[in-house]
């Protein structure tokens, strides 16, 4: 669904350019805008946020400042935006965790995922499964065999409970019948660093987070979780190539504002974001990192969230993920 929408958008963009919307007259923005990243630095959401913020700053004529507010699987940062004044000056770069999964795994969630108005989907990046060099494994079947021979002995790091990396490994565990221990961190970058230091055996995160450490020999990539190989990680075989069907996952981001934000301001940010992601230079930078621009609008966001809700509710229930 998303791939077809991306291709349709790209074809239209090349044929006619990003369409300019007729927006209500407004002086907004007249001061800097905060873009809240609900995770620490170095993760995929942080990478996307900084590229998007740079482009929005140029389009809107005011600084868009990235602020990292990590913790509780993204809940702390999401709460900051949900409770902010609905004036367009505080935005959230949301994820599957903040918008879908947290309400499934946190019985006392501090915010309502519906307390946002969507601006647009922003991007998606497929996940790479990588292992520490100390494991000396070079394929997904080898990892599965190792984990089955040592139940409960291997561990994996993620950006926190309920995040995409956490869910992806839980899905792998369910599909392959594995017992691997989860170790949560505040960001994907922290999890990768722990793998480099030998504290973590496995990481499963987006291409920009994992592949730089694969390129320098610090980690070994053994699978990519998408139907076809990715140009940014062309040597990495897919999970399906290695006999495991159903493990397709990526890190998607969406730009959101507090519910009640004036529609004209939401529309102005959406228009600016569309131009930013349609800019060939920015799109090329994103794709070089293994991130696909996905400026698909509000309706696509709602359809995507509905599909993700159905998908991950099954995984969280089967894996019995619930946090007090």
CA distance 25 to 231: 43
Residue 4 has pLDDT above 70, yes or no: no
- In terms of domains, do 80 and 148 share one? no
Residue 13 has what pLDDT? 43
The band of 324, judged by pLDDT with boundaries at 50, 70 and 90, is low
CA distance 239 to 228: 9
CA distance 201 to 204: 11
Q: Is residue 242 part of a domain?
A: no
Domain that includes residue 290, residue range: 2-124+251-318
- In terms of domains, do 183 and 132 share one? yes
- In terms of domains, do 136 and 114 share one? no
- In terms of domains, do 138 and 108 share one? no
Residue 224 has what pLDDT? 97
Residue 5 has pLDDT above 90, yes or no: no
- In terms of domains, do 167 and 85 share one? no
Residue 68 has pLDDT above 50, yes or no: yes
Give percent of the chain above pLDDT 70.
92
User: How remote is the C-alpha of 52 from its chain's centroid?
Assistant: 14
Residue 17 has what pLDDT? 45
- In terms of domains, do 83 and 111 share one? yes
Q: What share of the chain is helix, strand, coil (3-state, %, to 5)?
A: 45, 20, 35
Between β-strands 33-37 and 90-94, what pairing exists: parallel, antiparallel or unpaired?
parallel
- In terms of domains, do 209 and 227 share one? yes
pLDDT of 242-253, one tens digit each?
Answer: 999 999 899 999
Closest CA to 254 of 208, 290, 300: 300
Please name the residues in contact with 211: beta carbons below 8 A apart, sequence gap of 6 or more: 128, 221, 232, 233, 290
Residue 278 has pLDDT above 50, yes or no: yes
| Residue scoring higher pLDDT (324 or 16) | 324
State mean pLDDT over 32-57: 94
Q: Is residue 97 part of a domain?
A: yes
**Range with the poorest average pLDDT among 24-33, 177-186, 202-211, 278-287:** 24-33
Residue 12 has what pLDDT? 43
CA distance 128 to 306: 25
Residue 161 has what pLDDT? 80
- Please return the burial class of 309, using the count of CB atoms within 10 Å of its CB with bins 0-12, 13-18 and 19+: middle
- In terms of domains, do 102 and 115 share one? yes
The band of 44, judged by pLDDT with boundaries at 50, 70 and 90, is confident
- In terms of domains, do 32 and 169 share one? no
- In terms of domains, do 158 and 74 share one? no
The band of 106, judged by pLDDT with boundaries at 50, 70 and 90, is confident
Please name the residues in contact with 99: beta carbons below 8 A apart, sequence gap of 6 or more: 113, 116, 254, 256, 305
Q: How many structural domains does the chain have?
A: 2
The band of 2, judged by pLDDT with boundaries at 50, 70 and 90, is low
Query: What rounded mean pLDDT belongs to the chain?
Result: 90
Residue 43 has what pLDDT? 82
pLDDT of 132-173, one tens digit each?
Answer: 999 999 999 999 999 999 999 999 999 888 788 899 999 999
- In terms of domains, do 115 and 186 share one? no
Residue 26 has what pLDDT? 63
The band of 11, judged by pLDDT with boundaries at 50, 70 and 90, is very low
Residue keyed to tokens 């350019």: 17
Residue 19 has what pLDDT? 45
CA distance 70 to 45: 11
- In terms of domains, do 24 and 103 share one? yes
CATH number at residue 164: 3.40.190.10
Residue 36 has what pLDDT? 99
State mean pLDDT over 22-50: 86
pLDDT of 236-276, one tens digit each?
Answer: 999 999 999 999 899 999 999 999 999 999 999 999 999 99
Which residues in 275-288 are b (16+ Cβ under 10 Å) and which e? bbbbbeebbeebee
Q: Is residue 246 part of a domain?
A: no
Residue 1 has pLDDT above 70, yes or no: no
Pair of tokens at residue 163 = 């995040």
Q: Is residue 265 part of a domain?
A: yes
Q: Is residue 243 part of a domain?
A: no
pLDDT of 161-213, one tens digit each?
Answer: 878 889 999 999 999 999 999 999 888 889 999 999 989 999 999 999 899 99
Residue 7 has what pLDDT? 44
Helix (H, G, I), strand (E, B) or coil at 232: helix
The band of 95, judged by pLDDT with boundaries at 50, 70 and 90, is very high
């Amino acid at each position: 669904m998303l791939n077809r929408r991306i291709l349709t958008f790209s074809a239209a963009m090349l044929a006619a350019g990003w369409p300019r919307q007729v927006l209500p007259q407004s002086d907004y923005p007249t001061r800097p805008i905060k873009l809240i990243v609900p995770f620490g630095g170095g993760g995929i959401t942080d990478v996307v946020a900084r590229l998007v913020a740079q482009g929005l700053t140029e389009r809107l004529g005011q600084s868009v400042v990235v602020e990292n507010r990590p913790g509780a699987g993204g809940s702390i940062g999401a709460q900051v935006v949900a409770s902010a004044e609905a004036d367009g000056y505080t935005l959230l770069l949301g994820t599957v965790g903040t918008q879908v999964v947290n309400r499934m795994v946190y019985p006392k969630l501090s915010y309502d995922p519906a307390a946002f108005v969507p601006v647009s989907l922003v991007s998606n990046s497929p996940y790479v499964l990588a292992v520490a060099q100390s494991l000396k494994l070079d394929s997904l079947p080898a990892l599965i065999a190792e984990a089955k021979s040592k139940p409960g002995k291997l561990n994996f790091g993620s950006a926190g409970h309920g995040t995409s990396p956490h869910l992806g490994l839980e899905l792998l565990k369910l599909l392959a019948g594995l017992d691997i221990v989860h170790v949560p961190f505040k960001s994907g970058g922290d999890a990768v660093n722990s793998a480099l230091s030998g504290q973590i055996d496995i990481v499963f995160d987006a291409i920009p987070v994992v592949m730089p450490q694969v390129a320098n020999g610090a980690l070994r990539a053994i699978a990519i979780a998408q139907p076809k190989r990715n140009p940014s990680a062309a040597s990495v075989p897919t999970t399906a190539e290695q006999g495991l069907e159903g493990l397709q996952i990526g890190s998607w981001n969406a730009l959101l504002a507090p519910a009640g934000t004036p529609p004209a301001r939401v529309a102005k940010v959406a228009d600016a974001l569309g131009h930013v992601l349609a800019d060939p230079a920015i799109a090329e930078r994103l794709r070089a990192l293994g991130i696909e621009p996905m400026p698909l609008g509000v309706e696509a966001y709602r359809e995507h969230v509905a599909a993700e809700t159905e998908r991950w509710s099954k995984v969280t229930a089967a894996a019995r993920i619930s946090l007090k």
